[in-house]
Structure formats: C-alpha cells, structure tokens
Structure 1
Amino acid sequence: MSLRLRLALWYGLLAGLMLVLVMLLTYALHTRGHYDDLDHTLVSATQHVAQEVEASSASTGTSVVTTPPAPGLVLRVYDADGRLVAASPNAALAPEAVPWTLLAGPSVPPFDPLVGLVPSFMPSHPEPGVLGVAIGPSGTRWRLYALPLRDGRALLAATSLDRVDTATRLFRHLVPLLAGLGTMGALLASYLLAGHAIRPVATLTETADAIARSRDFARRVPDPQRRDELGRLAATLNTMLASLHQAYQAQQRFVADASHELRAPLTAIQANLEFVRRHPDLPATERDIAIAEASREASRLARLVADLLVLARADAGLPLRRWRMELDRLLLEAFAEARQLARGQRLEITRLEPAMITGDPDRIKQLVLILLDNAIKYTPDGGRITLELRRSSTHAEILVHDTGIGIAPEDLPHVFDRFYRADPARSRDPAGSGLGLAIARWIVEQHDGQITIESSPGVGTTVSVRLPLGP
C-alpha cells in the first residue's frame, strides 16, 4: 500500500469518524430538543387546566376540560375509581389509558436511548405528574401526561407525536446517508491532498534514483521552495550530494595520482632489470649502476605504499593506540634520526620544555620526522633548521622553522592535499610523493590537535603543531 493511500485512509477515516460523531450529536440534540419542547408545552397546558379544574365547581370544571387550551390537546378527567368523568371532544383520537396506572410508574421518554445520552436543556417537570407513551387507534404514538388532582381525581392529557416522529424519522434516515457521503468526500479530499503534499517526495525519489543509476553526483534534487519538512529534506539531500560529489572527486584524483606515482618507480625498476637481462655481458660498473637505480626506485615504491597504507587507515577511521608518553624525549629521538639526513644544513634545538601527552608514540615520531624531513629537503646547504617544544597550561606546541625556499601564497592552502606538490618542490625533491603533510595532518587530528603553516618565499617556513597535554 502506497504512502499516499495510507495517508488518505488515515485522514479520510478520521475525518469520517468525526463527521459521524458530529452528525449523531446533531441528531440527538435536535431530536431531544423537539421532544423536550413538546413535553414542556404538554406539561404547562395540563397544569394550567388542572388549576382551573381544582378552582372550579364540578360543572364548571367539566366545561374547562371540554374546551382544551391548545389545539390537538386531548383531556380526560377520571375519578378515584378510574371512571371517566369528563373528556374533551377529540378524546376518541387518543388511546385509552388509566392515569393511575401511569402514576404508579416512572416517566417514560419518547425517544430512543441514543437521544437520551445528551442532556436536556428544558427544566424538568414538577412532581407528582408522570409522562408516558401510548399507541393511538390509528397506529400513531401519543404523549401522555397524568396529573393527580387535590380532590382525589386525576387529569390525563395527551398530544400526538406524529409530527415530531415524522421529522425525527426523516432526520434519522438522513444521518447515515450524510455521514457516508461525508466520509467518501473526506476520503477523496484526503487522497487529493495527500497526493499534492507528497508530490515533492516523489520528485526527490525520482531524482535520487536517477543520480544513483547515473552516478552523476553533480546533479541536485529540485528545491521545492518551501520552509517545511520537505524543504529541509531537499536541502539536506543536496548537502549530502555535495559532500558525496566532493568525496567522489577526491577519490578519483587520489586513484589517478596514486596510479601515476606508482607507475614511475615500477617503470624504472622494470626498465633497469630488463636492461640487465638483455645484456648479460654488461660491464660490472654499469650493471651495478642499473641495480642501484632499481633498488632506489624499489625503496621509493616501498615508502609510497607505506604512505598509502597510512592514508587508507585514516580513511577507514581506525583508531590509534594511546598511552602517556614524554613528548620531549620522543622529539630528541626524532631529532637524532633527522640529523643523519642533513646535507649541509644546521639542525638545532632552541627550546625543549618537558611535556606529557596521551597518544601513539610511533605516529607522533612519524609526524616530527615528516616535518624535519620536509625542512631538510627544501632548505639549501648552509641553511638553518630549528626544533622547539613549548608548553602551556593546556597544550604542548611543536615548532619547526627553516630558512628554506618557502611556499608561495597561492600554494599554501593546498599543501595538506594528497599528492599536491608545488613546482619548486618538484624540482628539489623529484622522488617525493606529496603525501607527507597529508599524513601529518591526519596524525595531528587523531590527537585532537591543530597544525598550521606560515611561509614566505625565499625567507623560510614555520610549522606549528599544538597537542593537548595528557592528564
């Protein structure tokens, strides 16, 4: 069952139920009002006649009964033995009834039990009169009211219920018909409104399905131009598509760059090995040169694969090992290894404050080696590279400063991108992969830290890493 049909059924049936309840309430109030009004008129007229009968002599009282005060009202006077004493001229129209029998029981309502559920808005008739219902000679219903008189007699008044019964019967037949038509109308209106309301959902679904089939993440779902849940859903889907598009483009660039970087050392290794295989009489010196070049390219390939594995670990969201460590001691170890890589540059530690942090020692050491290795690569012979460790109340800050070639302002925002290398960097380090700073940023982020770079071309570069202190 579709969402549109479910919504239509829910809201249509709910509206139909409310309509049925309203119709039943209207019927009950309408019917109760008619019968209560008739009872009030009957009781008032009968009490008026009873007062005149009690205040008059026997002959005068009989004349009062023979001239009813209201048209259609039938009056009869009975003595204490139940014999008819006097009656109005139209008494034959009303059913025969003994007032003492009515007075012996409670009042009987003239309507069905459903109508009796609603309260009466008419004042209740005073005791000791009793109301009843009887069937007349013609088969119509009559409303009876028996009232005892002070002299021992009883007055019985009757009025036909035919007019009220006919009106209420017609209304009772109209209630289910109107309720059914109203429910059908509510269902139809709910179906149309549900279709209009969820039309944007159908559009979003079709667009999302088309994007999934075509893999065109640059496409966007249409904006319904509404400030409701559907509008927010469209905006959220477009934001998600933008993120997917960006990630998809980054993945494509990464695959293309990785393929290119892997192809170069593999080609060099294959060419040198093929050269040695095809020339078995090659002089030892040339053979050694070819093998050494293949070995260098194999080492470069191993480093590149290791860096790619680190980034794959980063993309997979795998957590790092964490424990307390002495950051200053780890910096000394990394500094000692980096000095072996220097080619005429002066490496110095200008400041080293003790600091304890929580993290992965291997990754932190890799971070420092990446920064020092970059500084060595892009600093000419005779240049100066300094390593500094500062500690504040909440953070430890690692500073690596060099007097190298620097980074151009247009390249600075991209230095953390994977495989990104500025033109001067390519000329100074053709064997580089452009993954070092991307790995460095991932390590810093995994330790809840921050890394920033400030650089001026021809002056030098300063890299700052802020890491939170351990407990």
Structure 2
Amino acid sequence: MNRTPLAAPPRPRRAVTIRVRILAGVLVLLAAGVIGNSVAGALTLRHYLEDRGEDALRDSGDRVHEVLARGPHTLNDGQLAALAAPVLGITVVGRDGTVVDHVGDDVPDAVNELTADRPDQVVTLTDHPSVPDLIARRIPTSGLTAGTANGEVSVSALVLTVRTDVDRMTVADFISRQAGSVGITLVLASVTALLILKFGLRPLKQMADAADAIASGAREERLPTYSRRSETDRLALAVNEAFDVQVRAEDNLRSFAADASHELRTPLATVSGWLDLYHQGGLTDPGDLDRALERVDGEVGRMRLLVEELSLLARLDAGRPLDSAPVDLRRLAADVVQDAQVIAPGRTVRLHAPRPVHVAGDGPRLQQVLNNLIGNATQHTPAGAAIDVSLEESGGRAVIRVADDGPGIASEDLPHVFDRFWRAGTSRGNARGGSGLGLAIVQAVVHAHHGTVDITSPPGDGTTVTVVLPVPEPVPGPGQGAVPGRGRTRTARRR
C-alpha cells in the first residue's frame, strides 16, 4: 500500500522587529520624497530650458521682422551678430538657396537643407547624424542684402538656431548630481534613524527584558519608567499595574485557599476526633454518644454554612445578577431586629424607621446583609452594649445604619474589616468568632445592588456601618404625571 509522504511543516516566518519596520517605513517615505523632488526638479529644469530656447527664437524672429519692415536693407557682420545675440546661431541663405554667411552655427549647410521646406516654423532637430540637437526657425526675406567678402548678395532667408544638446547635457548633469545627493541623503538618514531608534526604542527593549524576567518568576520585577509623558512610560505604568493586580490576585487566591483550609480543618478535626473515639469504643454511654452526635452535627453545620457563604461570594464575584423585586426595607429590618431580640433577649436592639422605604433588589440577600451586620455587632460587643438600627430615605437613596456603643475597632484594623477570612487580632467579645466572611458578604451583596457600604469607628465611641442603596424612580400610574423639572413623580392634582 502506497503511503503519501507527509508534507514538511512550513517554516515559521521570522518576526520583523519594530525597529526594522520603522526604519524601512522612514526610508521608503524619505526616498519617495527625495526622488520625487529630484524628478520634479529635473522636469522643471527641462521645461525651463525648452521654453528659454523657444523664447529666444521668438525674440530674434521679431527683430528680423522689424528689420524687414524698414524696407530694403543691407546687413553687415556687426548687424548679423546683433540679430543672433539672443540665440546661438544664424545662417544667411542667398537667392540660389546656398549659404552665403553664418554666425555661431557649425553646420549651416545641413541646417539650411533641413529647414528649406518649412518656412517661418519652429523645427526641432534631434538624433540627426550630421546636426546636433537644436531648434530652428527659417524666416523668408525680400529686399534684404548682406555684405560678404565677395560683395553684397541678395538674401532669401535667415535661419535662426538654438542648440538644445547643451540643455540636455545640463539636465543629465543635474540628474546625476541629484542621484548622488539622494544616495548620500538616504545613507545619512539611515544612520540617523538607526541612532534615533536605538535610543528611542531602548525603553521598549528594557520593558521586554523586564517582562521576560517577570515571566521567568521574578514577581517583584517591574518595567522601568522615566516620566509620565511619553507613550512608553504610560504603557509601562499600565503593564506594571496589571502585574500588580495579578500579584495581588495570586496572593489573595493563596490566602483564600489557606484561610478556607484553615476554617475547614478545625471542624473536620473535631468530627474526626469524635469518630475515632467512637471506633475505639470510648462512647459506650448513651449520653456521651448523644453529645458526640450533637457536636458532629454542629461542626457539619458550620462547614455547610462556610461552603454556602463561599458559594455566594463566588457567584457574586462572577457577576451573576441577583433577583430584583420590590423590597420593603422597614419590614425587613423589623423582622431581623425581632429575630435578634429573640436570639439574644438580654440585648438592647432598637429599630428607628419612621416611614417605609422601598428598593428593588433581592430580598433574601438584603436580609442576609442585615443579619450579618446585627449578628456581627452582637458577637463582637460586650453583653450590655446597645445596637441601634436606623432607616431613612435621603436624596433618592435608602440609608441603613447599624451602630453599637461597644469599644470600637482599632484604626489599623479598619482597612481590613471587609477582607475575607479576616479577624481582628483581639476579639471584641467572643473568643471564638465567626468564619470571617460576614462583612465580605455584606460588601459583595451591597455592591451587587449598586450600593455602597462604609464603616466608621472612632476610638472608644462604638462602630457604625452605613449601607446606601439606590431607590428606584416611581412609575406614574393612572391620573399621575411627572412634575416638570423634577426627577421624582408626584400625584397630579385634579381640577
């Protein structure tokens, strides 16, 4: 069986560096500009020389016609030279068609022959074997004589000529000089551009080296910056910020994993200890067995609560939308306060809510926010400390405050109260404390409702947590309309 040989994989194309691309682009643009300018200069020079020759022929022809207009006239050598001054040559043709005199022209006979059948016209002679490149104009004459060595002879025509081969040589010399200038300019531009790119792109090379070092594991390495004005510095600052965010995320992930494992290790150790004691026959008394099962059930419940809280935070971090429905915050707060009074009957928990406040949100999650705040205040304050819950609407926003008159939070601990698994170094009331996720869940839920949460704790003056939630605009019903110029709506008066 014949097998088709596998085609060799294509070779990867060599990456073209930014330096080479910029240099090539600059040189192409510069070459196009310089060459275009040289071509335009050569064309302009050629047209100028051509126009100059034709103007010279025209001026000399006009002077010949002025001489002929004076009537019969005899030209001597001086007058003939004066007529030829604007041009390079003049040929005098006798009545028999032969050349009787000339000034400037080296080949008067050939010029006479080539222009014989084209009177009073500008004739261009190029690439002729016996005549250099030139333009000529043959002017017929009558009543004009010319003084020669053989006496006066009648003149039948004057042929004016302008050499153009010299002009062509001038243009060719200009082009050759321009070509040399273009080459020198491109060489100097290449050297200058290389030097500029070498120093100008040095920050990018240093950034690439630093990025390679970071990718190799140097987590503390950062891209160099010199100022905040250049594009490379702005890029370096942005990349450094991205690296910092990544490092913080990795640190948070490691801390999260360590804290979560720590939180699960204690209940797992408790459950494992009771099970080991049971297997070893240490729980023979029914009362001891019941107590062991209660402890195991409590620790399992603790682990279940921790997993539920972690799951909620994961959903909120993923940006999954919460349910949205009308929520009466006063009723919700009243239920939570009543539950707290039942759970801790020796506590003073008061609600200050003079009027209902409605928001659009997830009712169970908002209830969890209030439960966490009141539970946190109950857990971390002395038994005699009072807890006040206030609710009001201000500026189109619902404001919830949970304040206690406990010892407060140390100033160095305030920036960390919303961190996950964070606990103060010394508990304010309970020796064991919770999972350390309560305030983190509060912050996540409030932010998911497009609100804000803030905590203040003056030294020795208690702690106040303030939650601000947006209040939706009321929808006008039948017989209602929006008052012009106001964001809120009011019931329109009936006439």
TM tier, shorter chain? 0.7 to 0.9
| Cα distance, 1:58–1:137 mapped onto 2, change above 3 Å | farther
Identical-residue share of aligned pairs (%) = 29
Give SS of 2:353's match. strand
Moved more, 300-309 or 219-228: 219-228
Q: Does structure 1 residue 364 correspond to structure 2 residue 378? A: no
| Cα distance, 1:233–1:364 mapped onto 2, change above 3 Å | same
Residue 420 of structure 1: how far off its partner (Å):
1.8
Q: Does structure 1 residue 75 correspond to structure 2 residue 67? A: no
Moved more, 185-194 or 248-257: 185-194
Q: Does structure 1 residue 205 correspond to structure 2 residue 208? A: yes
* AA of the residue aligned to 2:161: A
Partners of 2:90 and 2:158 within 8 A in 1: no
| Cα distance, 1:214–1:315 mapped onto 2, change above 3 Å | same
Mapped partners of 1:12, 1:177: distance in 2? 16
| Equivalent residue in structure 2 for 1:145, among 125, 132, 137 | 137
Q: Please list every run of 5 or more consecutive structure 2 residues that lacks an aligned counterpart in the other structure.
A: 1-15, 145-155, 474-495
Mapped partners of 2:128, 2:353: distance in 1? 119
* AA of the residue aligned to 2:92: R
Cα deviation 1:419-453 (Å, max 9, x = unaligned): 22223427615041111111111111111222222
* AA of the residue aligned to 2:284: L
Bigger fraction of residues in helix:
1
Residue 179 of structure 1: how far off its partner (Å):
4.0
Partners of 2:125 and 2:133 within 8 A in 1: yes
Mapped partners of 1:86, 1:161: distance in 2? 24
Mapped partners of 1:423, 1:286: distance in 2? 35
1:445-460 equivalent positions in 2, closer than 5 A:
445-456=447-458, 459-460=461-462
| Cα distance, 1:134–1:233 mapped onto 2, change above 3 Å | closer
Aligned to 1:125: none
TM-score, normalised relative to structure 1: 0.83
Partners of 2:134 and 2:161 within 8 A in 1: yes
| Cα distance, 1:262–1:168 mapped onto 2, change above 3 Å | same
* AA of the residue aligned to 1:130: V
Query: What number of residue pairs does the alignment pair up?
Result: 444
1:432-447 equivalent positions in 2, closer than 5 A:
432-447=434-449
Give SS of 1:264's match. helix
Partners of 1:449 and 1:465 within 8 A in 2: yes
Aligned to 1:48: 63
Residue 213 of structure 1: how far off its partner (Å):
2.5
Mapped partners of 2:258, 2:234: distance in 1? 36
Moved more, 149-158 or 236-245: 149-158
Give SS of 1:425's match. coil
1:56-71 equivalent positions in 2, closer than 5 A:
57-60=72-75, 64-65=79-80, 69-70=84-85
Mapped partners of 2:236, 2:263: distance in 1? 40
| Equivalent residue in structure 2 for 1:354, among 349, 353, 356 | 356
| Equivalent residue in structure 1 for 2:25, among 1, 5, 10 | 10
Residue 396 of structure 1: how far off its partner (Å):
1.4
Aligned to 1:119: none
Give SS of 1:309's match. helix
Tell me: higher relative CO, structure 1 or 2? Use CA pairs within 8 A at least 6 residues apart: 1
Aligned to 2:163: 160
Q: Does structure 1 residue 133 correspond to structure 2 residue 125? A: yes
Aligned to 2:479: none
Mapped partners of 1:278, 1:18: distance in 2? 95
Give SS of 2:446's match. helix
What's the RMSD between the two structures over aligned residues?
3.2
Aligned to 2:410: 408
Partners of 2:427 and 2:433 within 8 A in 1: no
Residue 173 of structure 1: how far off its partner (Å):
4.2
Give SS of 1:282's match. coil
TM-score, normalised relative to structure 2: 0.79
